[in-house]
């Protein structure tokens, strides 16, 4: 086994983008703590087996990221099993659609709770651990194209992902003195199990499945049709950006939200 580059904890890593991030960081030489909700235990164990085959140490720390005590225990579990925490990737989240008028308070609260509060708790307990260790660290969160550029019929999701950008900037300002950088990544349409309900293998999105207004559908479709890079976004594309943000080379980058969307958003 090669010398470890450090310990990385990735939330929502049972599948999709989170799984790809975990695999990439393991390939980079990090030991890995895998997290998802307890019901995804079998998937987490499958990912853990793959990481072990790469010669890296791995542990599974199931938790619901919206529960304060569970997030604290998740971080403590990673530290106990692997010896510390150098990288926190707060990837867990939910994707929801719905217009401002048709949405419910319940759907709003659920989306903001998982995406915004969950990320906040991961940032908080990771920062506390990294400060105690005294060796700096990397905190990385999952924003979205919709955290930079609003699309219709995504009111709660866009709000939650814009919130992560603000949280990231505040955390970067507060934690820089400890040698901790805080950044976020903003994927566009990425082909995962979560998006397969509205996105086919060719990358075409069927907005009719959740947008009933033809004007809004036409606008969304035109945005994707005019993306500069025609490559279909894959989880590995996001993982490569996280790999860089987790590296020593990214030590002078903080408070940023990097887009992985083929050029849809250039802000």
Catalytic choice (157, 177, 178, 210): 157
Q: Is 161 a catalytic residue?
A: yes
Strand-pair partners of 89: 10, 140
SS3 58: strand
Strand-pair partners of 139: 88, 182
* CA nearest neighbour of 174 among 116, 112, 131, 115: 131
SS3 89: strand
Q: In what order do the strands lie in the sheet with 87-90?
A: 58-60, 31-34, 7-10, 87-90, 137-142, 180-187, 257-260
97 touches 157 (CB < 8 A)? yes
Cα-based distances in Å from 248 to 28, 87, 120, 137, 174 = 12, 11, 24, 10, 20
86 touches 8 (CB < 8 A)? yes
Catalytic choice (40, 153, 161, 185): 161
Our CA dihedral for 65, 69, 75, 77, rounded to 10 degrees, sits at: -110
Sign of CA dihedral 121, 76, 177, 246: negative
Which contacts qualify for 206-212: CB closer than 8 Å, 24 or more apart?
210/97, 210/98, 210/153, 211/97, 211/152, 211/153
Name the residues annotated as catalytic: 157, 161
């Amino acid at each position: 086994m090669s010398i470890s580059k450090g310990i990385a904890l990735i939330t929502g890593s049972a599948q999709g983008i989170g799984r790809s991030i975990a695999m990439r960081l393991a390939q980079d030489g990090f030991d890995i703590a895998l997290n998802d909700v307890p019901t995804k235990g079998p998937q987490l164990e499958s990912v853990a087996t793959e990481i072990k085959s790469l010669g890296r140490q791995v542990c599974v720390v199931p938790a619901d990221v919206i529960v304060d005590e569970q997030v604290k225990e998740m971080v403590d579990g990673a530290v106990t099993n692997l010896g510390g925490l150098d990288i926190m990737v707060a990837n867990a989240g939910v994707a929801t659609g719905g217009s401002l008028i048709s949405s419910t308070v319940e759907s709003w609260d659920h989306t903001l709770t998982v995406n915004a509060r969950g990320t906040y708790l991961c940032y908080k307990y990771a920062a506390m651990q990294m400060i105690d260790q005294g060796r700096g660290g990397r905190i990385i969160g999952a924003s979205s194209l919709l955290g930079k550029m609003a699309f219709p019929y995504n009111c709660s999701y866009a709000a939650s992902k814009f919130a992560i950008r603000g949280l990231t900037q505040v955390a970067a300002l507060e934690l820089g003195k400890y040698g901790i950088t805080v950044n976020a990544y903003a994927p566009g349409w990425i082909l995962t199990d979560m998006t397969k309900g509205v996105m086919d293998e060719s990358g075409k999105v069927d907005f009719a499945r959740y947008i009933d207004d033809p004007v809004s559908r036409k606008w969304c479709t035109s945005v994707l049709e005019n993306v500069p890079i025609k490559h279909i976004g894959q989880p590995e594309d996001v993982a490569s950006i996280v790999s860089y943000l987790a590296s020593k080379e990214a030590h002078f980058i903080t408070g940023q939200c990097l887009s992985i969307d083929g050029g849809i958003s250039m802000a």
